[in-house]
Each structure stands twice: as structure tokens, then as C-alpha cells.
Amino acid sequence: MSACSSGGEVSDSGSRASGPVSLDFWGWAPGYDKSVALWNKTHPNVKVKFSKVPSGLSGGYTKMQAAVKAGNAPCLAQVGYESLSTFVTTGALEDISSYANTDKDQFVEWAWKQSGLGGKVFGIPVDTGPTALFYRKDLFAKYHLPAPKTWQDFSAAAEKFHAADPENYLINAPMDSYEMAVYTWQSGGHWFGTANDQWQVKIDGPQTQKVSQYWQGLLDKKVLKTGVAPLDGAWFKEAKADHMASVVTAAWAAPMFEQMLPKQSGKWAVAPMPQWNAGEQAAGNNGGSSTAVLKGCKHLKQATEFATWFSTNKDSVSNLIKNTGIYPAAKSGMDLPAVNQKSPYFGGQNIYQVFKAGAENTDPNWVWGPTMSQVEPDFIDELKKVAQGKASMSDAAEAVQSKTVKAMKSQGLSVG
């Protein structure tokens, strides 16, 4: 589709390459270099050179885009799902569908879709961020709170926990776009889509409004901690003092609990996200990235082969789990011992079974928009107003909707 394409024909130059091929790969995650080294030991005809750049939103993406414009970009780059649409709409990626589609069944469906747009594939998924409820099971027991199965249960628990001590807050108020996205995603909503060569934007759609009204209700009851982002320093300070008892976050957060709250070993547990309707199993996602192929790569076949190996090879994925902290997007990776064992920190619970179910029950049709670098700060600003009582959650969603459509149109994007 013209509104979303990379603007070029697929090159098959990779299949005609003669002699050893060299591929440059830019990324920032720890452990990536070790998987690259594993590849180079067994693939003498395709050598990959990994170069570390700042994380995407800290300058890495800007450097990648500049390199594409200058015509000296690497073949491969670590690109988060939330930013892939931006790369596509700026013409910074190659369409690798003809090389990649034969392997799509190796990956969780929604993660595969996150690595493409408009029916085309631009990268290979590496990891995902299936979400769940991390909660202090000892505090829940102390205050006679069952692990909430529904959001109605959660609301009742939040009120009871705060009533027991004015410093107690079961959870923080949503602070940014990615928190709001998780809740909207779980509820079946979609912020972005494409149809008839146009972007569709529904940041203030009915599911987001449902989510907004739910959290606004808890804010009105003053049972949410405001001004504290999940897993930041202030959040862990509250958790250490036994005043913060739960958080909805992704699989990649598990090691953070061990590092930041070592004295609470055995006190935390992981449960599925509370559901809007009893008996459902829907989850959202927070995080994850692809190995994308940047515009100008002369060896699309080899680049795709490496990216697929990187995400599916047992030794590579085991390394990435250990040293990068990923939750794999490949179905085979979800069965590796490193993400399928009991955790001493979490009281002997196999928390990864919860994340596996979450990954399998994540709506595959979520699409990130092309201006998330604008959506995120706008949501942060609007949610600050909500925390200060100057606006409602619904007001925030409506304001970001308006700002996003304006931003997209200013970039020449067609919005329906």
C-alpha cells in the first residue's frame, strides 16, 4: 500500500552473491554480540559484524535513519515493534517477504505481524513482552485479598488494600502510552490500522475509553499511586516499604525484581492479567523487537537467513534468554529450559507458564502507528494532567488522538 510501503522493489541480489558475504548489524541489547559470534563460527560464507549503538529512543534510531539517507546503512538493525511502522513509512526498510514468509509459522502469530506492515515483512521477530500481574502474595494473604481474576476483583482489592493503610497502593496510575496500550490491547482495542491506502487512528476508541473510565474510577476513589512510573526508582522504594503490592508488566521485568528487591524473595508471584469477563484469557504486550533489514542492503537472502537463525537457533536463543533477558518470539524458544523452569525468587513458581499463555492469547492484529515518538511524550504530558486532577483519563485519550492525527498529516501521511 502506498501509504505504508518502503517505496522500492525487493532485490534478489543476495541470491546472486559470489564469495563470502559480509553483513553489518546495529543494535544495543547485551548478548547480541554473543549470538553473532555463534553464527560466525559455523557460517564461514556469511560473516556478520555487530556494532553497538545507543538504544533506539536514545539516539540509535536517529543514527540508523541518517545512515539510510546517506546510503551507508548496515544491512541489519534492532528495531522495536513500536518503531517499525515509523521506519516503514520513512522508506528505511527492505521488503523481505519473499525470503521470510516460509518461516512465519515458527513464530507466535502476533509477533510475526509486528515485524511487518501492509502484508509485507520487513524484519524477523526476536522477542516479545507478554504481560501479567506481578503481585505480593504475602501482602494479599495478610489483607485477605485473593489473586484477582477480573478487573472488578482488582478494583475491590485496591480499595481494601488502601483502606488498611493510607500509604498502601495496590498499583500505580497509568503513566505513559505503553501502559495504556497494554490495557487497550488486552481489551480488544486497536489504536492504529490501515485501510484503503490510509492510516486509521482510534486512540480514543471505545476500548480505550473503557480502559480510561476504569482507571479514572480508581483515581476518583484515590486508591492509585500517582506520580510513580512502574519499576522506576520511586516505585521500588514504595515496594521495599510494603506499600506497593502489584504491577502489570512484561516477562522481561522478572530479573528486575530479583535485582532490586532481593529481600522479598519468595514473596512475589505472577498471575494472568485480570480479565474484563470471568473465564477469558486475554493479555497484552509491552516490548519486543525485530531484526529488521535496512534500505540498501545488497544481500537480502543472507540477511534474512541470519535474522531467522538468530531468533530460532537453540544456542542463539538460549544465549539471548540468559544474557539479554528476552522472552522468545519463536515457538520453539518458548519451550527451552531457561524459560520453562521454576523460579526460586518467585517461590518456586514456574512464572513462564503464565507468560507463555499470555503470548498465546495476545491479539495478533495490533498495529503500532508511525509516530510513536510523538504519541509517547504526548500521552505522558496528558497523563500528568490527569494525575494533577486537571483532566480525566478520557480527556487524555482524546487529546492524544487529536495531536496524533495532526502530527501524521503534517508528515504527509494519509489518515482516514
pLDDT > 70: percent of the chain? 95
Number of H helices, E strands in the chain: 17, 14
Can you tell me the distance from the alpha carbon of 393 to that of 390, in angstroms, rounded to the nearest whole number? 10
Summarize the confidence of residues 47-59 as an average pLDDT: 95
pTM over 0.95: no
166 vs 218, 246, 343, 400, CA distance in Å? 15, 16, 32, 32
Confidence of residue 10 (pLDDT cuts 50, 70, 90): very low
Comparing 354 with 15, the larger pLDDT belongs to 354
Q: Is the dihedral of CA 225, 229, 230, 233 positive or negative?
A: negative
Question: Which domains are present in the chain?
Answer: 13-128+287-339 (3.40.190.10), 131-284+366-410 (3.40.190.10)
Chain segment 249-289, per-residue pLDDT in tens:
999 999 999 999 999 999 999 999 999 999 999 999 999 99
pLDDT > 90: percent of the chain? 93
The pLDDT of residue 6 is above 90:
no
State the pLDDT at residue 8: 32
Average pLDDT, the chain: 94
The pLDDT of residue 4 is above 60:
no
Confidence of residue 325 (pLDDT cuts 50, 70, 90): confident
Among 1-10, 17-26, 304-313, 335-344, the range with the most confident prediction by mean pLDDT is 304-313
